[in-house]
Amino acid sequence: MNKSLAVILLAFFLALVPLGARAQEEFKREIESVVFVPKGQWVAGLSISYDQTNQNKYQFLILEGVSGDTYSFKVSPMVCYIFKDDMGAGGKFAYSRSLTKLESADIVLGADNEFDIENLYRLSHNYSAMAIMRNYFSIGRSKRFGFFNELQLQLGGGQSKLMKGKSTELTGSYERNFSLDVGIAPGFCVFLSNYSALEVNVGVLGFSYTDTKQISDQIYVSRRKSKSANFRINLFSISFGVAFYL
Residue 234 has pLDDT above 50, yes or no: yes
Report pLDDT for 150.
86
Q: What is the bridge-based pairing of β-strands 145-164 and 114-138?
A: antiparallel
Angle at 116 between CA 164 and CA 55, to 5 degrees: 80
Residue-wise pLDDT tens digits, 169-225: 777 888 888 999 888 888 888 888 888 888 887 777 788 888 888 887 778 888 888
For domain 35-245, say whether CATH 2.40.160 is its number.
Answer: yes
b/e code 140-172 from CB counts within 10 Å (16+ = b): eeeeeebebebebebebebebebebeeeeeeee
Average pLDDT over residues 22-39: 64
What CA–CA distance (Å, rounded) separates 8 from 28? 31
Residue-wise pLDDT tens digits, 56-94: 776 666 666 667 788 888 888 889 999 988 889 999 898
Average pLDDT over residues 9-26: 51
Alpha helices in the chain (DSSP H): 2-26
* Main-chain phi, psi angles of 123, to 5 degrees: -130, 135
What is the value of pTM for the model shown? 0.69
Phi and psi based region of residue 217 (left: phi greater than 0; alpha: psi -120 to 50; beta: remaining): left
Secondary structure of 93-126 as H, E, C letters: EEEEEEEEEEEEEEEECCCCCEEEEEEEEEEEEE
Residue 58's closest CA among 92, 99, 103, 20?
Answer: 103
Residue-wise pLDDT tens digits, 116-163: 667 778 888 899 999 989 888 888 777 888 888 888 898 999 988 887
What CA–CA distance (Å, rounded) separates 184 from 155? 15
